[in-house]
Structures are given as C-alpha cells and as structure tokens.
Structure 1
Amino acid sequence: MVTEDAVRPGSARHHGCLPARGCSWGNWKEEACLEEERLRDFMQKRERGELLMQKINRLNDNLLKKVQLSVSKDGFVCFGDTVMLLSPGKEPSVQRDVEARGELTLAVNLEEVSIYSALALHPPCALSAVTTASPVGRNTFCVLSVDGESVGEPVKFGQKFGLGTTGGFSDPMLYLASDHKSFMRFAKKSYLQQVFLTDELSYLTCWQANFLDPQLRLEYEGFPVPANSKLIITHCHTNRSLAVPRNFWTRSYFGREYEVICHTYLDSHRVEEDKNYWVIVTGNPGDEGGTMLDRPEPQPGGTGKNEFHEEMKNVKIPDYN
C-alpha cells in the first residue's frame, strides 16, 4: 500500500519514477511488440509457402498424388506406359512376418528434411519398397526406350529399357540406376549393390526383363513382356537383378520401408528366389479404375463363388421317397 510519505515532495513518485496508483505493472510493451513480430513472421511465411499446412498440402499434391496407370490393350508392357513395380508377397511363416511378406512397391524415398521444402526431385535420390499398393506419385514409373523404339511398341524379353519417375512433381525426370559396389558406394543396410535415381541417361540406367523360368529363358527372348506377370528385372551393366531382401528396413517420414538393392539371390538349383520376383502392374480397363490387382478374378461360367452358393440355397431338391 502506498503511504503518504511516498508522494511527498522529492520522493520517487513525485518525480515520476514510479507509476501512479491504478497503473498496471508488467512488460506489456514487450509482449505487444513480440505479438506484432509473430504476426509479421506468419504473414511472410504464408507468402513464401513455408507454413506447415502449406507444406503438407504440397506433399499431398506431389508425392502422394493419385496417378492413373496405363491400360494395356494387348496384355503387354509397352514403351511410354506408366506402371508400378510390385514385389509379390508370399504366405508368412509367422504372424509377425505379415507385413514383410506382403506385396511391396518400388517408391521414391526422400529424406524428411527435403520432403517439405523440395519443389522437385534432386539427384541422387534413394529408393525403397513400401506397402502402398495404390498408384501415387512416388511409386509410379514410366517405361522408357533407350534404343530409339517408338512409344507404344511392346517391350521384349532381353531388350534394354529405362525406368523414369518425377515422384509426382512436374519435372525433372530421374532414372532408375545402379552401379558396382565400392568402398564409397553401397547400400546402407545390407552393404550390397545400391539402387538410386539419377538425372543422366547412361549405361547405368539400362535394364532388361527376363523370363521367370531359367530353362525357358532363351526360348522366350525376343517375345513381348506380358504385363501383370512375374518376371526378373536385371541391370544390364552389372548383370545383377533388382531385389527386395525384406530383412533390411529403415524408418522414413512415411513409416517403415524396406531396402531395395541389386543382387541376384539363387537357391540350390541356381534359380532366382522370390526376392528377385517383380510384377509390372498396369491400369484396370474397367470403369472402376485402379490397377489390375484390384480386378476380380474371373469365375467359370461368369458366376462368382458367392453367387453360386446363393443360387444353390434357393434350389429345392424334390423328395422321391
């Protein structure tokens, strides 16, 4: 409480050093300046597109943007097609292997630092295998010609081709590549031959499709590559096949993803294991869209299994007794 002595002539209040009675104490001026500074910083970030909401929208508009796959009219993979590269799954041995044994697709793997800020893919860029089976910007690729074939021509077994992607961005296009393992260049987890994206078309970006059965591989060489069927994708320069070991995984912004490498896994019969199996997935020609993976399997006679059981319930069997 302020006493009479505090306002006598010559005191601190008399000379204006202390606020008068009823005046609020505190750094209200500093708080007002800080609030104005925060508002000014918010407006500048919004103009530059640096707000978290704007970055998330940009992420959805690019990497996670839905993409329509090319529809194969003749059942073959053609140059210029937009496809997905899928590693088919197998039955898990135990319950904890369900995710690792499921279907995985080849996808662009950006570091978390560059996901929000990137306006395009910058080489070199890593790849990974993801559990997303829906075609989006980061897991769709374009089949490219490296020998001058025209768009629409079918890709043949043993023929060189390239695989390019923009990751959902407008440009530039990066190409799937690999090179021999060295002391400075190898996969981070398995230490085997790495797979990456580059912006230069060269002998490092050439691939070829091989028939699944090695005993019939020479006979099928030169025949068109069927879409949505298992095959082997081999790197031409190193003669090693694209693979997903499924026992090496990393944590990314999108969750748990598996390492993709170039290594040929052979069993005791010198035959490629399922780690090297791939399926080039095309679009569903039906009105429902999607991929050929979403298309129901045809039933004999045009009647589905469930429809057959429903029809049999309504059938009355006569009693001959």
Structure 2
Amino acid sequence: MAQNLYSPRVRMGNWNEDMYLEEERLKDFLKKRDEGELLIQRSRRLKKNLLRPMQLSVSEDGYVHFGDKVMLVNPDYPETEADVSLGGDLALSMTPDEIQAHLSEGLEVPCGLSAVPTKIPVARNTFIILSADRDASDQVLRYGQDFHLGITGGFENKMLYLTSDHRTLLKSSRKSWLQEVYLTDEASYRSCWQAALPDPQLRLEHEGFPVPANARVLINHCHTNRGLAAHRHLFLRTYFGKEAEVAAHTHLDSHRVEKPKNHWMLVTRNPRNDSPTMLGLPRPPAEDTRAVEEAMGLNTQ
C-alpha cells in the first residue's frame, strides 16, 4: 500500500493550504485549552465533582430524619446464586454514561446507577432524605411514609432524584432486563419510595414507627411496588471501573421473604473521628430491642 511520505512542510500540491490548516488546528487547540474545553479537562472536572468528599449526618436519637445525608448500602452477604460476585458492602452510586461524561462536564439526565464496594462517602454516593409532602423538614422518617432520595453529585443547584418506572421493551436494566432505576431532575410520584421492615411477620406492626439508622430495611418503589435491589453477580463497566447493577425488583425466597439483594441500610456518620460512617462498628446486643421500645413510645405520644 502506498504511503504518503510528505508533510505540509514539503511544498508540493496544496502545501500552502495544509500549512494554514495546521495553524488553525493549533489555534483551536490552544483556545480550548485556555477555556478548559478539552475533553480531558472536562473529564477531570466531572470526576473531581463526583469524587468530592462528603460528610454524612449524625443520628443523635438513632433514627433517620428528613434532610439527613446518608449512604444507601447493601450489606455484605454470602452469594450462593452465582460463582463470581462483588463482595463487601455495596453503596448505591450515580454512574454517568461514559460517552456523555466526556462530551459534557455536567450531569446528563437520566443518569444511571450502580452498586460500588466502598465505605467512603463522596458526592456520587451521598443521598439526601427528602419529604414528599415538603413540610416535614427535620422530622423523623417512618415506615410506610413516602419520601424522595435526592443527590447533587457535587454540583451546586443541581438535584437529581432516585426514580423508577414500569419495564417496557425499550426501557429496562442493562444486564437483568428488569425494572430500571435511574436519576432524573423531576420529583414526581415515580420518585417516591417507602421503607419497610425486612421481617414480614413484624412489618404491619411497625407501620408508622420511626426508621432506625444503620439498620437493615427494604426500600420499595411506591408506583410499581418493586424493591430496590443490588445484583452483585451482574457487572457493569462504568466510568469508574467494574461495578454491580442496581434494579427495582423484589427477590423472594421459598418462604416469600425478601432476599438480601433487597436489604439496604441508611448509613449515617460516626460522631467520632476514627471513621466517616457507622459501618463496621460493633453494635450492642440489645440495641434493636431498645430501638423498638423507644419507637413504640414515640408512636404513642
């Protein structure tokens, strides 16, 4: 195959035009570099915002309140349904599309989600508990109460909401083809969720009780009645590497009880400085009983 061994400096053919084109390319490159419009500069800014360190809220009474900043964590459990899976605690995180992340320095909607093995609160995995009634600021979140899960992703004046909708032929999760979960900038009934007790025998009795922080709960979608689930065995190649798929689907065992895939914890900050979250800290053996007794006392007042 013949090769072009001539460069624009060799004056043959349209050499003058080639020299002007080279000068224009250089000017365009320098202009974009000075204005911060290069793809690598946009990518770095986006990554810096998403990985910005965040500080979670401290639960002084042991419960979750509206306005609290928390991490949604799927607790570690032995996966028996797949040979290969992500281990450890998985945090729900926003995952921008890789192509859109290079083309735009902002957050494109709808924005994807994934489960990430991390215990460090950053902008991409720190959610805010928001009231669906808009008049319950600083009030305690209760089982069966509608709420929104908002996230800024490190951007000011930008709030995205955890949202889901019925599965269709054109809209479903990428790996399991189940109901998709995503982030959008519109707060609607499709972005309303409820917390439920994992034990089905005590679920109705705890309706209306305060939701404890750092304890296992179910996060159910109000519009479709599907539970938020982390699929540890289904991997996604994301902008940040290998992560797990997140979908809205209720996985039941033979006893009609939700599997650990549907278990989540609303993790708050450790009031001490030795750890940014309450994950991994030893719990008193009677803590759950005491929490139920206090909740019953609050509910009767």
Q: Is TM more than 0.5 here?
A: yes
2:155 aligned with 1:169, yes or no? yes
2:282 aligned with 1:297, yes or no? yes
Equivalent pairs counted in the alignment come to: 273
Contact 2:110-2:182 within 8 A present in 1 as well = yes
> How do 1:256-275 and structure 2 match up within 5 A?
256-275=242-261
What percent of counterpart residues are identical? 51
Match of residue 85 from structure 1 = 72
2:41 aligned with 1:54, yes or no? yes
Q: Which shifted more, 29-38 or 141-150?
A: 29-38
Cα distance in structure 1, aligned partners of 2:252 and 2:176: 17
> How do 1:195-214 and structure 2 match up within 5 A?
195-214=181-200
What's the CA shift for 1:116? 3.4
Match of residue 118 from structure 1 = 104
Cα distance in structure 1, aligned partners of 2:140 and 2:102: 38
What's the CA shift for 1:214? 0.9
> How do 1:1-321 and structure 2 match up within 5 A?
27=10, 36-37=23-24, 39-51=26-38, 54-91=41-78, 97=84, 100-288=86-274, 290-293=276-279, 296-297=281-282
RCO comparison, higher one (Cα < 8 Å, 6+): 2
Cα distance in structure 1, aligned partners of 2:199 and 2:284: 27
State the SS of the aligned residue for 1:269: coil
The one-letter code matched in structure 2 to 1:73 is E
Cα distance in structure 2, aligned partners of 1:119 and 1:206: 28
Cα distance in structure 1, aligned partners of 2:174 and 2:80: 27
Cα distance in structure 2, aligned partners of 1:39 and 1:68: 43
What's the CA shift for 1:234? 0.4
Unaligned runs of 5+ in 1: 1-25, 301-321
Unaligned runs of 5+ in 2: 1-8, 286-301
C-alpha distance after superposition, 1:278-304 (max 9, x if no partner): 01111121134511126x43799xxxx
RMSD: 2.6
The one-letter code matched in structure 2 to 1:197 is L
Cα distance in structure 2, aligned partners of 1:146 and 1:94: 36
Cα distance in structure 2, aligned partners of 1:241 and 1:95: 20
State the SS of the aligned residue for 1:215: coil
Cα distance in structure 2, aligned partners of 1:287 and 1:258: 30
Q: Which has the larger radius of gyration?
A: 1
Contact 2:66-2:140 within 8 A present in 1 as well = yes
State the SS of the aligned residue for 1:176: strand
Call closer, same or farther: CA 1:226–1:40 in 2, change over 3 Å. Answer: same
Cα distance in structure 2, aligned partners of 1:64 and 1:226: 27
